Amino acid sequence: MSEQFEPVIVGFTCNWCSYRAADAAGTARVKYAPNVRLIRLMCSGRLDPTFVMKALAGGADGVMISGCHPGDCHYIEQNYKALRRFLLLRRTLKGFGVEPERIKLIWASAAEGMRLAHEIDSFVEEVRKLGPLNWPTWKDDQHKAEPVMEVTA
């Protein structure tokens, strides 16, 4: 492999903090990796886990979810619900035979354009290391997915 792998990542951001962090990064001309395409939701609590499944099934190598910092949610506490779902989702992914590291939850406030850019850069590197998401194939005899590494929630 001479050319480096460029992962495709779908990002879900809340409207109030993280999408505005992306705006702030733009306004400040902070440079970051172009691999992430953001989808705006009103709140990270809107994130239906099927969105993540859909993105991974449709060709994304990773999914990033971003919300307001705990305690700063525009909707008071819905980002905690996103956190709960995220932790469950990691386990579910593992059950499907997908590395749970392919999804990442971050917090970025509207002022943290720099932080968002930094998180995107490091996530792109992490997914690059994991390589393309090749869905595991069923083993002929056992109907069992290839085991993957342990989850630490």
Partner 1 sequence: MSAEEKTPKEKIGVYVCHCGTNIAGMVDVVGVRDWAQEHLGKDGVVISRDYKFMCSSLGQELIEKDIKELGLTRVVVAACSPHLHEKTFRTAAERAGLNPYLTELVSIREQVSWVHTDKAVATEKSKSLVAGTVKRIVYNEALEKLKVPINPNTLVVGGGIAGIQAALEIANGGFHVYLVEREPSIGGHMAQFDKTFPTLDCSACILTPRMVEAGTHPNITLLTWSEVMNVSGYIGSFNVTIKKKARFVNEELCTGCGICMEKCPLKVIDDVYEAGLGFRKVIYTPFAQAVPKYPVLDKPNCTYFKNGKCKACEKFCPTNAIDFNQQDETLNVEVGNIILATGYDLFDAGKVTNYGYGRLANVFTSMEFERLCNASGPTNGEITLRDGKTKPESVGIIHCVGSRDKNFNNYCSTICCMQSLKFAHIVKERTGANVYEFYIDMRTAAKSYDEFYQRILEEGTLFVRGKVAEVTDAARNPGEEGKLIIQVEDTLAGKQRRIPVDMVVLSSGIEPRADAKQTGKLFGISCSSDGWYIERHPKLDPVTTMTEGILIAGCASGPKDIPSSVSQGAAAAARVLDKILQKEVELEPIRASVDEAKCSGCRICNNLCPFNAISFIDDLAVTRINPALCQGCGTCVAACPAGAINGTGFSNEQIFAQIDGILMAV
Q: Does 19 bind partner 1 (CB under 8 A)?
A: yes
The answer to whether 11 and 39 are in contact (CB under 8 A) is yes
Residue 71 binds to partner 1 (criterion: CB under 8 A): yes
Q: Which residue has the tokens 């869905």?
A: 135
Q: Does 34 bind partner 1 (CB under 8 A)?
A: yes
Q: Which of residues 120-149 bind partner 1 (CB under 8 A)?
A: none
Q: Is 8 in the site for partner 1 (CB under 8 A)?
A: yes
CB of 9 closer than 8 Å to CB of 64: yes
- Residue 144 burial (C-beta neighbours within 10 Å; 0-12, 13-18, 19+): exposed
50 counts as binding partner 1 under rule CB under 8 A: yes
Instruction: Identify the bridge partners of residue 12 per DSSP, sorted by sequence position.
Output: 39, 65
Interface contacts to partner 1, rule CB under 8 A: 8, 10, 16, 19-20, 22-23, 25-27, 29-32, 34, 37-43, 45-51, 54-55, 58-60, 71-78, 81, 85, 117
